[in-house]
Structure 1
Amino acid sequence: MFGCCVAGRLLQTNLQQVDESHAMFEVPHAESINHMCVFLLGTVPFPNGYGATVHFFWPGKGFQLLGMLSNDKPSAIFRLKGTFTSQTASEQAHPMFTAAAGFGVTTILWISIEPLSQISQQVSSLPSAVATRSAVAPDATVLAERIVKHLFNYISGFVTGGSVTEETTVPMGVIARWYGSFLAKAKAGGIGFLENQS
């Protein structure tokens, strides 16, 4: 039902069924993973009203929720680079992953089939939750309006002595700083911050 692919590696279809609603992949060399894609194979859809949460066992952190899959969102790419933590001595004996000198860490990608209502509650706590709440991208005009509103609000903070008028002059350096800040926010967490504007 599921497949996963770590960037730069062969496709994994060696899913291990744990029970009716849980399955897992063993993922070798977790310390070198940058991105991972998890997807439905297309052979068996989820039952109506169900989807799956995707978790990754992080050495030193336990299971961490990455995101979700559903019939409407049958694949997802997760960025894992920079989140690997070296294991402590007490974790070396943990049965969920193994480490041996020169062989790297083998860890677990955990998939849990659950009602979509429960999945929505879990996924809403993720930093990129705004992007996950809807599988449909915002309309181009709505997005453009939000970006312009963000620029206007930013520039308004630099206006002295009153409100912004048609004659207000804005130095290009202010717009350049806004642009750099805007791109950094978008790269770090998507465009969800545009929805939080007053």
Structure 2
Amino acid sequence: MQPAPPPQFGLIVPGRSMVTEFQMVDSLKCVTTISGDVSEVCFVLLAQLPINTSAVLYYTLDGVAWTLLGAVDNSKPSGIFRTPWQQIQAVQVGVSLESSEAVQNLDIGGSGVEERRAFARKIAQDLFTFLTSFATTKEKIYTSEMLVVPANVIDRWIQRFDEKYKRDPNFYLKT
């Protein structure tokens, strides 16, 4: 009996054991299924890839439409990726070995810095929109618009934000 080849990839969900068992679909693609309720995953290389090759991580909720999550390669052997499947029972995750040139054309963000900046800007925009719903003009006192808000407005915004987040953790990306 031949020993099983060592795993090439690992998928880590915080608080769970690392998943290294993937079923081969063809010579360049493999899949695994994990239970949902996952806000982020860490995808790691456990072995060197061929030169100019990347491992691209995809997911599907329906078994048909695959969505790009991120990629790793020998120069960046791990990555943490946010997921949009928090309230899903199970999700199928696929890995595809692709040329580094093809992966560059996928326009995957490098370090996540821009993603975090965009995230912070979306949150700030949500707060600004909420606060401006209280806007009033005090023409007799000031020559410019003045924002008058109730003392508990930030508490109300946080409560509203938490409720929206419970329904859809990615709601801020859709506005």
The answer to whether TM tops 0.5 is yes
Deviations 1:135-186 (A, max 9, x none): 3325999987775565344322212346533xx5321233322233345556
The reply to whether residue 172 of structure 1 matches residue 148 of structure 2 is: no
Tell me, yes or no, if structure 1 residue 11 matches structure 2 residue 18. yes
1:181 corresponds to which residue?
Answer: 160
Q: Give % identity.
A: 22
Q: Does residue 1:39 correspond to 2:20, yes or no?
A: no
Number of corresponding residues: 153
Change (3 A) 1:48 1:142: same
For residues 97 and 10 of structure 2, what CA distance do their matches in structure 1 show?
A: 15
Does structure 1 conserve the Cα–Cα contact (< 8 Å) formed by 2:44 and 2:79?
Answer: yes
Conserved in 2, the CA contact under 8 Å of 1:155 and 1:170?
A: yes
Partner SS state of residue 31, structure 2: strand
User: Larger % of strand: which?
Assistant: 2
Aligned to 1:24: 31
Separation in 1, partners of 2:58, 2:115 = 28
Whole-angstrom distance in 2 between the partners of 1:8 and 1:47: 33
Q: Secondary structure at the match of 2:106?
A: helix
Render the CA deviation track for 1:108-149: whole Å, top value 9, x for unaligned.
5321233224534xxxxxxxxxxx745332599998777556
Equivalent residue in structure 1 for 2:103, among 94, 111, 116 = 116
Give the CA RMSD over aligned residues: 4.2
Structure 1: 5+ residue stretches without partners:
86-106, 121-131
For residue 92 of structure 1, what is the aligned residue in structure 2?
A: none
More helix, by proportion: 1
Q: 1:73 Cα shift? A: 7.3
Runs of 5+ unmatched residues, structure 2: 1-7, 139-143
Q: Deviations over 1:47-96 (max 9, x none)?
A: 4474403224x4xx2244261222347233546453238xxxxxxxxxxx
Normalising to structure 1: TM-score of the pair?
Answer: 0.52
d(CA) in 2 for partners of 1:4, 1:84: 17
**2:56 pairs with one of 52, 57, 67:** 52
d(CA) in 2 for partners of 1:12 and 1:173? 46
- Taking structure 2 as the reference length, what is the TM-score of the superposition? 0.57
The 8 Å contact of residues 24 and 111 in structure 1, kept in 2 or not, is answered as yes
Equivalent residue number for residue 63 of structure 2? 62
